[in-house]
Structure 1
Amino acid sequence: MDHPIPTPDIAAPDAEPVLDADIVDLLNGSATASTQGDALSMARVKRRVLARVAEDQRGQHLTVRAADGQWQPFGPGLSLKVLHECEGIMSYLIRLAPGASLPAHRHPIDEECVVLEGALRIGELEVGAGGFHLGRQDKLHMPIVSEKGALIFLRGAAPEATLLV
């Protein structure tokens, strides 16, 4: 028993139809298409279905805007803003005032760092805006200094205010 797919005109007058008329015709078998036409039609259907799924799942994502959240003191010349934490893994920002530093320390897991503004000196290594640094698990990390100030994004274990070796 055939169940034709409803034509797009049953949608509310101001709503975008769920499917284009040519797709409905193809699905109902009332139109024929070339292989290229089928591929283009399927790509269009896929694009619309994925857009609707993404719209439906929008609330399941997390967005933290620049003005959201609170900066908290983390040490002399340092402030920290948590973006997300789950199961001991944290994504956060650290702002270093000019001359601020972090002492030598170790990470319990690998820690990823992206310099968003300014520059860091890690031992003799200079990492500027746009640069990436990976602090390996259990390896001693040289002191980190920002002579002119910096903003960095980090992802790793929740940091401790007292970074001891």
Structure 2
Amino acid sequence: MNKHNYALNNELDEDIMQALADNESAVPMPIDLKAKLRGNIMDRVAQEHSGEGPGYITVRASDDGWVEALPGGFIKILKEADENGSLTYLARLEPGFEMPSHVHEFGEECIMLEGELWMGDLHLKKGDYHYAAAGMKHGKHRSPTGALIYLNGPLPI
């Protein structure tokens, strides 16, 4: 094929393909193969609808996995660290929890799900959002009531 006949050859190719398609007869698929293919497709659809399978992470509230990271402070990893070292986790603080001030190597964000937390003079309550950029220092953490916190960032230990 030379470059000058390219458009013409494409038109001929389409005509030939149409003629073949018009004269092609269906080949029956074996019943067991059809059932297997359909089962595979339906399994994928079910995984997508359930939020499970490749590409999804589901952590149930009832699942175990809480680890005491600090006295009175438990964490549960929801998503492992990404390429930046940031991970997603829950922190459950018992009433009376305290943690010394610390500097953040990486950015960290949190959403208060339950309870209250003091970070130095900053008072966070249920529903509050807080972000600390890399290099920022938090004051002493304390939770007189206990708390449940959603966090994304490095572990503070």
Could you state the TM-score of these two structures normalised by the residue count of structure 2? 0.64
**Number of the residue aligned with 2:74:** 79
Distance 1:141 1:57 in 2: 36
RMSD: 2.9
Task: Provide the aligned length of Structure 1 versus Structure 2.
Answer: 117
Q: Deviations over 1:112-145 (max 9, x none)?
A: 0111100111112211011111112111111111
Percent of residue pairs identical: 39
**Number of the residue aligned with 1:137:** 134
Runs of 5+ consecutive residues of structure 2 not aligned to the other structure: 1-17, 23-34, 36-44
Q: How does 1:28-107 map to 2 (within 5 A)?
A: 54-55=48-49, 58-60=52-54, 61-86=56-81, 87=83, 88-107=85-104
Q: 1:59, CA displacement in angstroms?
A: 1.4
Q: 1:58, CA displacement in angstroms?
A: 4.7
**Number of the residue aligned with 1:7:** none
Distance 2:51 2:123 in 1: 41
Aligned partner of residue 91 in structure 2, secondary structure: strand
Q: What amino acid is aligned across from residue 133 of structure 2 in structure 1?
A: R
Q: Deviations over 1:19-61 (max 9, x none)?
A: xxxxxxxxxxxxxxxxxxxxxxxxxxxxxxxx89x54985120
**Number of the residue aligned with 1:47:** none
Q: What amino acid is aligned across from residue 100 of structure 1 in structure 2?
A: F
Aligned partner of residue 59 in structure 1, secondary structure: coil
Could you state the TM-score of these two structures normalised by the residue count of structure 1? 0.61
Q: What amino acid is aligned across from residue 72 of structure 1 in structure 2?
A: V
Q: Deviations over 1:86-110 (max 9, x none)?
A: 3322111111111101210011111
Runs of 5+ consecutive residues of structure 1 not aligned to the other structure: 5-11, 13-50, 161-165
1:120–1:150 Cα contact (<8 Å) kept: yes
Q: Runs of at least 4 residues of structure 1 off by over 4 A?
A: 54-58
1:69–1:82 Cα contact (<8 Å) kept: no
Q: Which has the larger radius of gyration?
A: 2
Aligned partner of residue 103 in structure 2, secondary structure: coil
2:112–2:150 Cα contact (<8 Å) kept: yes
Distance 2:131 2:69 in 1: 21
